[in-house]
């Protein structure tokens, strides 16, 4: 069976730097940080006092009924907002399409620990009759996919991914595979996450994963590739794409924003939370993605890295890039948009894939903010200001990029994304 081309026709974002694709992209290019003092109580004795919250302008109580808020997790609500934007931007006229050929694959990285704690406490202190009957629909990882499917009547593959911080990218990769093998014509895919809370912050603080040196200067805390980096900043949000078989998109005159050319996966088989120093897992998954796309490493012009601002992870990813791309590595525009957004955990990979799609589509590469003292002076790390992606530097007018996501457990994923050329 001939390989099907899979294009991107819709985008939707809820992020710490904006609600919606337009605001998020504009704020990313101007170097805005979404990191602030952490909101709420219960954090007083924790070493980390910062987080990347979705902006205050998003009032869930104005968008959803009290019943919806009781039965849905915040991550599900974020997913519904992102899905609506993605579907609208794709100009999908659902009433005129076969909804059995339109599916959903959306994942969470983890459940909200504090929600679980609160309900267990209610059960113990106040008894069975006070237990929230919607507890399971708030906790189950596949509920964002389920609620999006129900709201829009999408009856194709209904799938969930949960692979820690690789979730959002793996969801897009699975959607790409579903379309390539003919299981669907259209998929709404990506990741969502909303787990900022005292227990989650405490858990990641205990393994020394979070930034704690910039509590008084939150906007400077997330600094991938910088020698002052000391850990990631926990964020929240959702990023969803509408991905579609090319001929289906052309037949309905859909706006085509980009194309997924290849998808690669690998496992570190090394350590549950740390990558190998040589970045072999990252190397294998990027290599697999390039092979799936049938492209030469020298065709890659941009990489949106996973780089979370941790001491070990950032170094390992750059080592993998140098090994895979050889002399071409210093010609690649390398960035990590987590400098602006923080680390959105299960939503990170899909939000960053959206930024990668926009970079290829618009010919602008977003910067890594707070990058003042780069750990590597040889590579082309895009620091603090965006740069133009000149068509002259591309091949056959194609701007081809790679985006990476890596997760606890040693699970890795890479996508090759390009601007669409007929």
Active site residues: 165
Cβ(197)–Cβ(313) below 8 Å: no
Give bridge partners of residue 105 from the DSSP assignment: 159, 189
CB 312 within 8 A of CB 231: no
Residue in this structure with the two tokens 């209610």, named with its chain if needed = 122
The helix (run of H) or strand (run of E) holding residue 158 is strand 158-159
Handedness of CA 200, 203, 206, 209 (dihedral sign): negative
- Encoding tokens for residue 72? 């849905």
Helix then strand count (H, E) for the chain reads 14, 15
Q: How far apart are the C-alpha atoms of 6 and 248, rounded to whole Å? A: 10
Sign of torsion over alpha carbons 380, 382, 385, 388 = positive
Beta-carbon contacts of residue 30 (< 8 Å; ≥ 6 apart): none
How far is C-alpha 196 from the geometric centre of its chain's CA atoms?
16
- As given in the structure block, the two tokens for residue 219 are 């906007």
């Amino acid at each position: 069976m001939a390989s099907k081309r899979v294009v991107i026709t819709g985008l939707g974002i809820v992020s710490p730097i904006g609600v919606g694709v337009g605001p998020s992209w504009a704020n990313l290019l101007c170097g805005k940080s979404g990191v602030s003092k952490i909101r709420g109580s219960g954090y007083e004795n924790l070493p980390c006092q910062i987080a990347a919250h979705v902006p205050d302008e998003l009032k869930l109580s104005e968008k959803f009924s009290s019943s919806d808020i009781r039965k849905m997790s915040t991550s599900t609500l974020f997913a519904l907002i992102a899905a609506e934007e993605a579907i609208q931007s794709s100009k999908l006229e659902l009433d005129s399409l076969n909804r059995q050929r339109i599916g959903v694959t959306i994942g969470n990285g983890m459940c909200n620990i504090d929600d679980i704690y609160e309900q267990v406490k209610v059960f113990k202190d106040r008894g069975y009759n006070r237990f929230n009957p919607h507890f399971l629909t708030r906790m189950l990882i596949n509920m964002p996919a389920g609620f999006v499917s129900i709201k829009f009547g999408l009856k194709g593959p209904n799938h969930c991914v949960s692979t820690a911080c690789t979730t959002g990218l793996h969801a897009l990769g699975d959607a790409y595979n579903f379309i390539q093998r003919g299981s669907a014509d259209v998929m709404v895919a990506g990741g969502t996450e909303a787990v900022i809370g005292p227990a989650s912050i405490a858990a990641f603080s205990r393994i020394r994963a979070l930034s704690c040196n910039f509590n008084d200067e939150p906007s400077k805390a997330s600094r991938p590739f910088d020698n002052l980096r000391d850990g990631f900043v926990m964020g929240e949000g959702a990023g969803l794409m509408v991905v579609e078989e090319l001929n289906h998109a052309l037949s309905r005159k859909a706006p085509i924003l980009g194309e997924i050319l290849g998808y690669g996966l690998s496992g570190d088989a090394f350590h549950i939370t740390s990558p190998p120093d040589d970045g072999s897992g990252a190397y294998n998954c990027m290599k697999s993605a390039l092979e799936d796309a049938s492209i030469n490493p020298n065709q890659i012009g941009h990489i949106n890295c996973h780089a979370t601002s941790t001491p070990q992870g950032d170094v390992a990813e750059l080592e993998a890039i140098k090994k895979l791309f050889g002399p071409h590595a210093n010609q690649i525009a390398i960035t990590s948009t987590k400098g602006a957004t923080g680390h959105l955990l299960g939503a990170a990979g899909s939000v960053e894939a959206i930024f990668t799609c926009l970079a290829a589509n618009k010919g602008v590469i977003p910067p890594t903010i707070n990058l003042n003292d780069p750990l590597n002076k040889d590579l082309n790390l895009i620091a603090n200001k965006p740069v133009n992606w000149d068509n002259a530097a591309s091949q056959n007018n194609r701007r081809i990029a790679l985006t990476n996501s890596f997760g606890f457990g040693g699970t890795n994923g890479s996508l090759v994304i390009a601007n669409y050329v007929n």
